Each structure stands twice: as structure tokens, then as C-alpha cells.
Chain A
């Protein structure tokens, strides 16, 4: 260990454990702990520790935002547009304000406001009961002047399509900001093209190609379907604002609230109880959050606003639908020479319907061109959803690569081997192929009889995201109890348990010894729980803080033992002298000797030691990102069109795996969501009326227990020496490769490619029928 400036050099384990570990030297900030050894040399980190709230969850004792009860709590409901496109001519709330039980009324769409989708908020009411609020909504008189509308991607692209944002009309605030901020052109309903990420000379790339494949792919609008609805309780008081919210970012919501309402950060407190999913849709305050606070301010009482299922489906975001045209050129040996992507997607009345950097960054191809466009339609705006962009992007790209393999007569694994420089995915392909039994893979449609089986695989790519504005406090109290505190929230992934593991490892304690306080902005500001960056961002901060507290404790203990602090280690609930472990004190005794009631430290997450791995738009950087390779085995009943996913092998990586049990549960969730995306889910909008016909969980088909295949999770330990924990995220990476792996397996089963999601019986039968007629 050498020290200079404020940094010192340390040797970190480096590489993929199953391939062989190396060492790498990193310069690290002086105040940060020494490197952790690989997981097999650790006591708590990397072990399948049960989540601390498991019992509470299973027994129903867990409390969610909807369970928050305050004295005098009012209930809010939102009146929503019954029309897909309309001008509000007049709105009359007089009758409502006089209604008994009604405490606050908010006009959201005053006269002349344009409503652009069914479900757009018009007014809100807070009343003493939910029923009174509901009844009050019916007394609001609104005159709507209907306007022409368009609710599907294809029609909206036509030059004669009704315009969602006619020229000269003021779009909603957030859209206006984006339109102004970006130089992208708005032509009709189409905004774009965004050509970021293009590189090389695409024409030359295709000229060099000996083989070209070219296809169109379509993906549907998927909704988040959080089992816990969007919910907020807002309590506006003279001395400040307290908000309980089901949110993926307490610290961010606090900032938004302070800005929106002209408050100081210190006057706003945001708390989140347990969460039942967010998947990206609970990342911000949202308009509904604002309404709840405004109602509370008006009523001078706490207000509770909880979405019903229809509101969830209409106005809480969604994954944009896309149309993608991919053209790929390659030499006969499989080396890619050109990839071009043309995409039109729709995020409803919002933007952000691109397909990310997937096609651009996954394979080393010198020539790439991309043109991505947002198409406005009269439907609820999208919000990020588990692997936004890359998930629909992978569905197209990973099928196109298989189409190329097919045309070249190459094994899809071999083609990828030639073009994918990632060492992580190479190992993942190897492990996955072995586990699924890739050598059983036969020619497409080779099975006799109507039920055909097939194997397929696909790869994924996701940023190794990190949020450095992430802090954590660790406290040691005189009775030996240890607390860890951060505003970071548990989206359902179990981050609290992981924090307990990190701190326990440092102190030589058990995870259950650590008391975790999270989800409250009264604690040091933690990172958001989106972009799969929670664990990567907050665990180093927690370890840094724990290590600092341990140093303080060691200094006090060392004196009493007559050794230097550097000679001490914490293990097995004791603090002992490294050379003679019989000498020492129990952790409790050590704490009892503290001069003050508690010692504590707040620490933050520093930049990645070796420089950030994530560089959107930079191919070389992206190659170091999080990988993931999934294999699927399916059976297809060619007479009924039913696809059954029988087995999925998901080979994933997330740096140093912190808790394999929790990771496995994330991956299973990601795979199930991917199956649901592949086979079932689709928001259906009626073109005659602009209404969503399946704004419920009955006709919006979510995967159920009988669709769940056997899911085998194989996890790489990928050490990069990047932080005090070297951990990265898993939630999104586990969702990206599933749908294309299934699609590729379906092709292997029946010899027909399904390029449209979801792959329903109707789609399978139509595809088989087309082939029959062609032959």
C-alpha cells in the first residue's frame, strides 16, 4: 500500500471468478477501506441471506403507503378526461364546493385547456371519505369540445393524421421543455430523427457486406402493472411538508417538492414505507403527487391519493410501442460490416420512445447508423420501464442477429462469438449453452407431430450505472447496537438487507444484528432506485461509513489492549488482535467502553476507482457494461398456436454479487416479466373511441403461475475493483434478453419467425398460415 496526495494504491481482485482471477491496482481515496477479497473469503457478503422483512411480507404485517393513517386524513380522487382529444370549453365546480364532506377542489384543466388522452386529469377533489370524493367528481360539470384524434403508431405517421400537437398550440409544460431543449424537428406527429450514436460509413459498410438481412419488428405498449398502486399521503403544515409516497427516489421527490412549492429542502420530508413495485413508473413526483400536495395545502389537512387499477393503466406510464427496421450486413465469415436501424416509437403524448443504444453498442461493428423517432398519439405518456429502450431494442436486434446466423448457416453462438468482444458474455454463453444443453438444438421445425420444441438464446446489455450523490450513515451505540441510515428506498429488491450485510461484514457481526433505517429524507440522501444502480451506489457508501466507525472504535479498543489500531480485526462478534486472536474483547464490551453515547460517520459513494464504465454512445465503454445471456426452451403447439416457455437459463452478472438469494429473485422477476412481454401483455386502444379497452388486470394479460417455467439462474462473479463493494445492478439486465430468446426459440421450433410482440396464438397461427400459403 502506497499513499500519495489523498489517494493510495491498492490491489483488487479482478476478473471473472469462473474463468480465473487476477489482480488489478487501483488508486483509491485515502479515507476508503481496503479491498474486499472475493466472496468465498467473506462471511456475510455474497451469501444468500434472507431478507429482513420476509416474515412481515409473508404474514401481511408489512405497511405500505396506502396503510398510512393520519388524524383528519382526507381522500382525493381525480376526474379524468373521457375523450382522447378535446378542448375544455367550460368547467364548473360550484356544486362540488358546496357538497358536504368536500374540503378542497382543484381545477386542473381550466377552460381552453386541451386534453390529449383518455384519462388525462381534469380536476381533483379531496373529501372526508373516498365515497364522498367519488360522488363529488360526478357533480363537476365539464363541457368538452371533441377534437380529431389518433391512437395508433401507423396512422399517426401519415401526413393527413390528426395532430396531437398542432403547430402554434402550447404543449404541456414538460413536453414543451423537451421540444425546445432538443433541436429535433417536429413534422406532423413525428419528432426526429435522432441520429445519435451513428458511426463509420454505413454505405461503405453495406458495400463490403456479402450477406444482408433486413426485417421489420414491432413491439407493443406494455404497462408497469405495479401490484401496489401509485399512492401518496401529503401533509402540508405551517412548519413544513411531510409526504409519504410510494417512490423510487425519496431524495429526488424532496427536491421536486421544494422546487415546485418554493420550500427549503429542510422543510420537506419524504418517507416511503414498503413498496410493491415501481419498475420505473414511480421515479418522480408526477402530476398526481403535485395535486395531492396542492389539495392538502388548500384543505389544511393531510390528503391521501391512491390510483385505482384503471388509473394505473391509463396514466402512470408505460413502455412505448415501437416499429423497428433493421438492416445488417456481414461478411461470409460472419463479421458484421454494417448495422442500420430506423425506428418509430410512441410514448403517447410524451417523448422517449427510442430503443436506446442496444443495436449500436452490443456488437463491434465499424459502421452503424441510427435514426430514432418519437411519434405522438393520443394516449397516456410513457415512463421508463425496466430496461427502457434496450428491451424493445433487444427484441429486434437479437432476432436480426439470429436471422443473419440462419442465412450464413452459422450457429447463433458462433456468430456472436465472432462479433461480441465482451469477455463476460463469452463466459455467459459458455455456461448457459452447457446448462441448457445447446447441443440438443436441432433444425427448425424438425419435430414430428404438431407440438414442436425449440431452443433459442439472446444477449443483453445495460449500463453499469452509478449515482455518486449517495450518502449513508452508520452509528454504533453504547449497547453494541449498530444502525445504518439512508434515504435510499426499498423498491422491493431488499436493499435494506444488503446494507445490513455490508455493515455486518465490516463489524464481524450477523446481518440480523444491524438495524436498518431507510426510506426517509431525514437520513443522509441516498440514490434513486432506477437504472439498476441502487446497490452499486449505496453499498460503497455504507461500507465506507462502517469502516470509518470501525476505525474510531479500534482506536478506543487498541488503547485498552495496548496494541496499535492497525493490529485489530473484527470477526465473529469480537474485536481481536490479528496476530493473537485469543486477545481481544467482545463487540458489546468494546461498545460499552465508548466515551460518548454513540459514534457515527456519514460517508458517500466516490467515483468508480478505475473510471466510470458507463459511457452511453461509446461502444468501447459499453462493452464493459453489464451483460447477460439467456437461453429459452419452448414448445409450440402448431395447431392451437400456443407457445409454452418450458425452461429459461439466465446467466447474469452484476459485478460482485452481494446476495445471491435476492439476485435470483430479481432475475426470476425479470424473466417472468420478459415472458409476459413476449407472449401476453398489450395495451389495447379502440380506434373508434380512443379508449383503452383493457385498463384492468382481467383483459390486460399478465403472466400467471401456470406460465412460469423452470428458471435457472447462473451468476457470474465479475470483479472489477471499482468501489468499496464492487457491486453493480441486476434488475433491468435480467429483463432484456428474455423476449428475443423466446422468439429465437420459437423460430427454432417451427421454422417461422415472429417479429411482432406479443406472440399470441393468433400471431403464431397467422405466421404458420402465411408460410403454408407461400409453400
Chain B
């Protein structure tokens, strides 16, 4: 790791003014060259940033610490919903009572992320803005399309953990587990620029797939700071479930996950369903056909099974990841049944 200047930001606008480029832009520089003097990046928990720096993938000249900026680490709730400051840690989220009660899928998604040690340090904002884990992307020896190269190594290579949907020229899966649940709750992100002007966008639109731009995962602009994540209120009847499967259950990444948010009418019929697949595509992947299979239905085992199958319709697995499809279908079916409070017909877990 190279030398860099450490700077503590005291306000959002100071941080935004300092942040010369996004990490995605900075990583397009030739890794063989020393850091450009204007390569200034923001740091929250630093888990991902430090990882990139240690691997020699990112060589900033200056690192601006956001952690001392006041007002970014609170969770507040009012009639417009829940506002989660960008510096709230994953651990705080996982254990927050309001989340546990009304946004259970989000609490579970966060609780299933990484390890306890990491969750105590990692922030929600940093989690949404972390770079993908594609192992070619994380290797200095592979100058792939996402780092400004010509080529994607995944299609003809080791793609067991890659995307089954939406892989247009790049097959990453979005790394954030929280994002799966956040998109299912229609979350928005709030951003502030150097002039102090805020904007807010739906998270689903903020996260961009390779079809739009293969070199970045978000719509974050240089000189922008993510300040908060906003969750609309849930109805009393809203039920949500998050299920994840990883290669191992100890501190590991998803190979597939799913968040289901259901609203049911008093007669028990499904009024509204939002189903999002994680680790399935370069962005959290709305399974709209599966949602359509639920709306207006009394949810039972057969309906849930149909939804599960609908969720994987149109998937295009790569050479080594077709196994993800039955897993995704199963997770959707089980999550839908759990969210509907319908008993599982079998002993499945």
C-alpha cells in the first residue's frame, strides 16, 4: 500500500468539495502508476476502501474520513418513514427495534451480512457503495472491462458466483445484501453535492447495470456524498421476509438471496408484492413476474411455487452457475410462504 494523506472532514459539503473523484473513476487509472495528486476518495467504515488499497487496485493520494461528520449516524422515524444516516453501522441496523418490527427483511439481510467484526465497523452507505466482489475484478492481474479493460473474464472463466440475469458485458452480482431488502421496500437514497444541494433518488434507479455503464455500479457523481437512506412507512399488514443462501453459513457472501415484501387485504388476498433477488444480477433484481403471480391471490403452497418458478423465468445462466436457479426459486417460494404466514407443506427450512 502506498503513502496517502489522511484528512478528516467536518461537514458534508467539505467532504463533497474534497472528493475529487468517485472510487469507480479512480480505479480506472493504471494500477502500475503511482497515485495522481488529485485522487481523493471518501472513507466511511473503510472495510472496502482498505481492501481495494491493499490489493493495489486503488491508489489514492488522499483519504477523507467521513466518520467525524456530525449528523450522519442517526436513525429517525416520522410519518414519512424511516431515515437512516449513511454512517449507521450494519450492526446498529441489524439490532434496531423499528427495523426488526416493521422492516424485518432488512434487519435480517443486514444481520446475515459479513461477520460480526465487519458489521460493527461497516456503514450502510459504504455497504451500498462498495465495489463488486467478482474475483477477476479484485485481481490486479486481470484488467477487465469494469476497470477500463477490453474484456470480461467471467463469461469463459470461473463464473460460479456470477450473475444469471442482466449480465450485459459484465456478470457481476451486486455485492450489497442490504440492497436486496432496501429495493424491496422502495428505499430512496439522499445525496448532497459540494454546494450543499440535496437530491433523492430511488435506490433501484441509483444502482446501474452494465448495460448503462460497465465501469460503475451507481449513479454517484464526483463531489457527491451519500447522506441517508430513506424508507417509506410500512402498512400494519406489511410482512417481509429475507432468506439467504451462502456457500457456508459462517460470515459469507450470498450465492443467492431474496427479499419479499407483502401487503394483504383483510380477506387474506395478496394486494401488493415486491420480490427482489440478490446475488443474481449486477443490480438487485426485481422479479416482476413472480410478483404478478401473487397479486390478487390467496397465497398457498401452489401459488408460492408458481411465484418461485416465475422468479427465474428469463434467466440466462453462465457455464457454471445454473445451480443458482433452483436455489433462487426455492428461496422465493419459501419466503413468500413465510411472509404470508402460510405453513410450509413439507419440512423445508
Contacts and interface: CB of A to CB of B under 8 A. Distances in A.
Interface of A: 82, 118, 131, 447-451, 637, 639-642, 679-680, 684, 686-689, 691, 693-694, 698-699, 701, 703-707, 760-762, 765-766
B249 A707 contact: yes
A641 B346 CA distance: 16
A691 B133 CA distance: 16
Contacts of A642: 245
A698 B247 CA distance: 11
Contact of A699 (B135, B320, B347, B349): B135
Interface in B253-275: 255
A447 B245 CA distance: 23
A704 B133 CA distance: 20
B73 interface: no
Interface in B315-336: 320-321, 323, 326-327, 330-331
A82 B153 CA distance: 17
Contact of A640 (B248, B251, B330): B330
Contacts of A706: 248-250
Contact of B245 (A450, A684, A761): A761
Contact of A451 (B1, B249, B349): B349
Contacts of B250: 703-707
Given A640-B330, A640-B331, A689-B153, A450 B139 contact: no
14 contacts: A82-B141, A449-B347, A450-B347, A450-B348, A639-B330, A640-B331, A679-B248, A686-B136, A686-B157, A693-B139, A694-B135, A706-B248, A762-B321, A765-B323
A256 to B, nearest CB: 33
Nearest to B334: A639
| Binding site secondary structure of chain B | loop
Contacts of B330: 639-640
A640 B346 CA distance: 14
Nearest to B347: A449
Interface centre among A637, A703, A707, A761, by most B CB within 10 Å? A761
B249 A448 contact: no
Contacts of A450: 346-348
Interface centre among B133, B248, B250, B255, by most A CB within 10 Å? B248
A701 B252 contact: yes
Contacts of A694: 135
Given A640-B331, A701-B252, A706-B249, A691 B139 contact: yes
Nearest to B249: A706
A82 B142 CA distance: 11
Closest 7 CB pairs of A and B: A704-B250, A449-B346, A762-B323, A449-B347, A706-B249, A639-B330, A706-B250
B323 A761 contact: yes
B235 interface: no
Contacts of A701: 247-248, 252
A373 to B, nearest CB: 26
Given A698-B133, A704-B252, 18 more contacts: A449-B346, A450-B346, A450-B347, A450-B348, A637-B349, A639-B326, A639-B330, A639-B348, A684-B135, A688-B156, A689-B142, A699-B133, A706-B249, A707-B249, A760-B247, A761-B255, A762-B321, A762-B323
B277 to A, nearest CB: 14
Interface of B: 1, 133, 135-136, 139, 141-142, 153, 156-158, 160-161, 245, 247-252, 255, 320-321, 323, 326-327, 330-331, 346-349
A705 B139 CA distance: 28
B326 A640 contact: yes
A448 B347 contact: yes
Nearest to A310: B55
B164 to A, nearest CB: 13
A640 B327 contact: yes
A17 B153 CA distance: 60
A451 B348 contact: yes
Given A451-B348, A640-B326, A680 B251 contact: no
Nearest to B247: A701
A766 B160 CA distance: 13
Nearest to A768: B326
A693 B153 CA distance: 11
Contacts of A447: 347
Contact of A765 (B135, B251, B326): B326
A686 B248 contact: no
B348 A691 contact: no
Contacts of B348: 449-451, 637, 639
Nearest to B34: A138
B139 A680 contact: no
B338 to A, nearest CB: 14
